[in-house]
Amino acid sequence: MPEQRAIVQRDPRGALAWLGQGLLYALFALVVGVFSQWPPYRHLPSDQALIKLSFSHHGQRISACRQLGAEELAKLPPNMRAPTQCPRERAPVIVELDIDGTRVVHRVASPSGLSKDGASTVYHRVAVSAGEHRIAVRLKDSAAGSAFDYERVGTVQLAPARILVIDFDAEKGGIVWQ
């Protein structure tokens, strides 16, 4: 419509408008193009390696299971007369990690869940220089005593950027690293 053309004509026309538009969009594309991949980001310095201490493990029950007597069982509803009663709460898991004789991790992982009957979990990442390291890992999952239940000591050779994962797998004998 002619009236609409008259309204539109208020915008600048000609070479300046097109040049300005082009320059502006070139600038916008440049900003997006550059900052979508530059400058490069290096999360870990090139001469370092990573040690990840991570496990999800149920601590032992805080006290032993016990057998119920006949009198105690009789007081229970018939569908709940399990002869063995175990406390739900589990002991917190304590873990320590020494690298080259220095203590770098000491964690007390509480059991999860409102009744504290879930697994204790730990995830901790340590950056170390690449090369040979002596590693000692200790884990305690029982409530009794002060001695650690599991311990593993060894020497590892870590190449730059290598990730060493220290985990706990009871079926594989306890503390494992890969």
Partner 1 sequence: MLSTGAAAAVFQAAAVGAGGVDADGTGTGRAGGHRSGPQRAWQHVERRLDRVLGAKGNPLRHLGALGFFFFWWLLGSGIYLYAALDTSATAAYESIARLSREPWYVGGWLRSVHRYAADGFVVVMVLHLIREASLGRFRAFRRHAWWTGIALLLFAFTSAIGGFWLNWDQLGQFSAEATAEWLDALPLFAAPLSRNFIAAAAVGDRLFSLFVFVHVGVPLLMVFGLWFHVQRIAHAQVFPPRQLAVATALGLLALSFVVPVASHAPADLSHAPGPLAFDWILLSVHPLVDATSPGFVWALLGGTVLLLAMLPMLPRRNAAAAPAARVDPAHCNGCRRCFVDCPYTAITMVPHPHGQAAGRPARQLAQVDPDLCASCGICVGACPSSTPFRRGAELVTGIDLPQRPIDALRRELDAGLAARRGRRAFVVLGCADASCAPPVGADVIALDLVCAGQLPPSFVDYALRAGAAGVVVSGCREGDCAFRLGQRWTEERLLGIREPRLRAGVPREALRVVWPRPGKLRGVARALDDLRAQCDGSPGRAEVECDA
Q: Contact, 85 vs 151, CB < 8 A?
A: no
Q: How far is CA 52 from CA 92, 120, 124, 163, in A?
A: 20, 16, 6, 7
Contact between 110 and partner 1 per CB under 8 A = no
Looking at residues 42 to 61 of the shown chain, list those that interact with partner 1 (rule: CB under 8 A): 42-44, 46, 49-50, 52, 54, 56
Nearer to partner 1, 75 or 172 (CB): 172
Strands 93-99 and 102-109: antiparallel
- Residue in 60, 107, 110, 112 binding partner 1, rule: CB under 8 A: 112
Contact between 38 and partner 1 per CB under 8 A = yes
Task: Specify the amino acid at residue 38.
Answer: W
Looking at residues 11 to 30 of the shown chain, list those that interact with partner 1 (rule: CB under 8 A): 11-12, 16-17, 20-22, 24-26, 28-29
Nearer to partner 1, 14 or 77 (CB): 14
Picking from 127, 133, 140, the residue whose alpha carbon sits closest to that of residue 101 is 133
Query: At CA 176, angle to CA 172 and CA 178, rounded to 5?
Result: 120
Interface segment toward partner 1; rule CB under 8 A; list 1-9, 60-68, 94-102, 142-150: 1-9
Q: Contact, 64 vs 90, CB < 8 A?
A: no
Minimum distance between the CB of residue 76 and partner 1, rounded to whole angstroms? 30
Q: Kindly tell me the burial class for residue 168, based on how many C-beta atoms sit within 10 Å of its own C-beta (0-12, 13-18, 19 or more).
A: buried
For partner 1, the binding residues (CB under 8 A) are 1-12, 16-17, 20-22, 24-26, 28-29, 31-33, 35-44, 46, 49-50, 52, 54, 56, 112-113, 118-119, 121-123, 125, 161-163, 165, 167, 178
